[in-house]
Amino acid sequence: MNSPQHIVLFPDGNRRWAKQKGIASLDGHKQGYNNLLDFSEWCKNRGVKVLTAFGFSTENWNRSKEEVSYLMKLLESCLADNLEKYKKDQVRVRVIGQKDRLPEPLQNAINTVENETKNNSKLFLNLAISYGGKWDILQAVKKIIKNKVPADKVDEKLFESYLSTAGLPTPDLVIRAGGEKRMSNFVIWQTAYSELYFSPKLWPDFTEQDLDLALEEFDRRSRRFGK
């Protein structure tokens, strides 16, 4: 099977899943993170090298203060609680996004997990927190201007070196759970030629078998890159 080296994941539908179950929507987010841990393991076992997962978007700051506060604390505790697992499983964790907007305890948890896992090599897990594709492009432009790079030196390769995903392979496959079919301002430069796979399942219900269905579909596709 032709397996993707870099998967982009939209773990969408946590709140809808909780509503269907008749439980608090915040509990849906916790179940969603637990499923992300499992998904990371499934990917690693199938030879995927990089997983970039949407955790919290720049637009998510517009949600209720209660939900935002809960998500910040959930992300902090999940990073801290799973540090030993990441180390044992040889998973390198990095967070991309507007780190300076995050609460200090979460920033500290991010710094710890990034430093403690930086030499791991089985899977590179990118967690996008306070991230937006448009923001990523704009921050790259601002850095290029700040560095006074001559216009005739700016090409796609140089521009990509300023994006938050610099140094990583281009995403091969985008998987979006939850039934929605859009990119939602996520790694929009990087996924220009990625294959798209949409699952109707809400994220907490997404299984290992569902991943295999996505990989089988990817294997059947002919990637021509405009040629």
**Active site residues per annotation:** 12, 60
Radius of gyration of the chain, Cα coordinates, nearest whole angstrom: 18
Strand partners of residue 56: 129
Any idea what DSSP says for residue 6? Answer: E
Q: Which of 31, 2, 5 has the alpha carbon at shortest distance from 170?
A: 5
CB atoms within 10 A of CB 137: 15
Instruction: Rounding to the nearest 10 degrees, give the CA dihedral for residues 186, 63, 24, 202.
Output: -20
Using CA atoms, how far residue 33 sits from 81, 162, 223, 224, in Å, is 12, 29, 31, 34
CB 93 within 8 A of CB 79: yes
Spell out the alpha helix ranges (H) of 46-202: 65-81, 83-88, 104-117, 133-146, 156-160
